[in-house]
Amino acid sequence: MTLLEVSGLRVTYPQGFRRPDFNAVNGVDLEIGEGETIGLVGESGSGKSTIGNAVLGLAPVSGGSIRFDGKDISKAKPRQRRLLSEHMQVVFQDPYGSLNPSRTIGQTLAEPLRVHRDLSPTATRSEVSAMLERVGLRDSDAQRYPAAFSGGQRQRIAVARALMVRPKLVVCDEAVSALDLSTQAQVLNLLKDLQAEMGMSILFISHDLAVVRYMSSRIVVLYRGEVMERGTTRDIYASPTHPYTQKLVAAAPIPDPDRRTMQT
């Protein structure tokens, strides 16, 4: 069953007096099924993050439509967006920048529960503790601040926060690009394990085709705001048809099966 359907999406930005609008995204179609991971891949400026932001309501939709769970959310009002945040969450590239340095990890993870769940303080602490354990951290970490953690640990915390209310869709926008290869592998495996456990869909955005290949069942290739090619991960890698996709595949490193099987 389709969870997210993007049809003819356009996102444009004004560039000033007598200059034409900039088409950041121009007529993009994609869909994500329940429990599926779709990869958006392209170089910087291809529009992939803009698509993710449009889905999340962080970028204006100039044309086309975005349907989530059967409902058009292209022009969702602030109140509707607050309700949607229970079902849509995001993991950004910079975990430190997305975590409030003045709040403990426990406070950060409890916030989505405070907004979307009517739980007692005891039940909230129990949920926070359970989620910290799921992402490979300790219950005592709830009392610590973001600065006390490594980059990989902070990204685990960002994943935990996104999953606290068990959303239907998680947008991962370059979620591992700031991490070293070993830590990337750990976080990617964590996402896969949690997806298997919770059943959420993932829109996985990255410039790294090898990472997208590992995470996604289908891939959409973008260039300058337009779709160049789409298909299953196997087909995109085995027989890319568009010259741009062929260049991306040729430039992608071949993973060492012993070093990059994404073992935790």
The predicted-structure confidence for 98-130, as pLDDT tens digits, reads as follows: 899 999 999 999 999 999 998 999 999 999 999
The predicted-structure confidence for 223-260, as pLDDT tens digits, reads as follows: 999 999 999 999 999 999 999 999 988 887 654 444 44
At residue 218, the pLDDT reads: 97
pLDDT tier at 63 (50, 70, 90 boundaries)? very high
The predicted-structure confidence for 14-45, as pLDDT tens digits, reads as follows: 988 888 889 999 999 999 999 999 999 999 99
Task: Give domain 2-87+167-251's CATH number out of 3.40.50.300, 3.30.2310.20, 3.30.465.10, 3.30.200.20.
Answer: 3.40.50.300
Instruction: Tell me the pTM.
Output: 0.91
The three-state DSSP-derived secondary structure of the chain is CEEEEEEEEEEEECCCCCCCCEEEEEEEEEEEECCCEEEEECCCCCCHHHHHHHHHCCCCCCEEEEEECCEECCCCCHHHHHHHCCCEEEECCCCCCCCCCCCCHHHHHHHHHHHHCCCCHHHHHHHHHHHHHHCCCCHHHHHCCHHHCCHHHHHHHHHHHHHCCCCCEEEEECCCCCCCHHHHHHHHHHHHHHHHHHCCEEEEEECCHHHHHHHCCEEEEEECCEEEEEEEHHHHHHCCCCHHHHHHHHHCCCCCCCCCCCCC
pLDDT over 80 (residue 54)? yes
Domain ranges in the chain? 2-87+167-251, 103-166
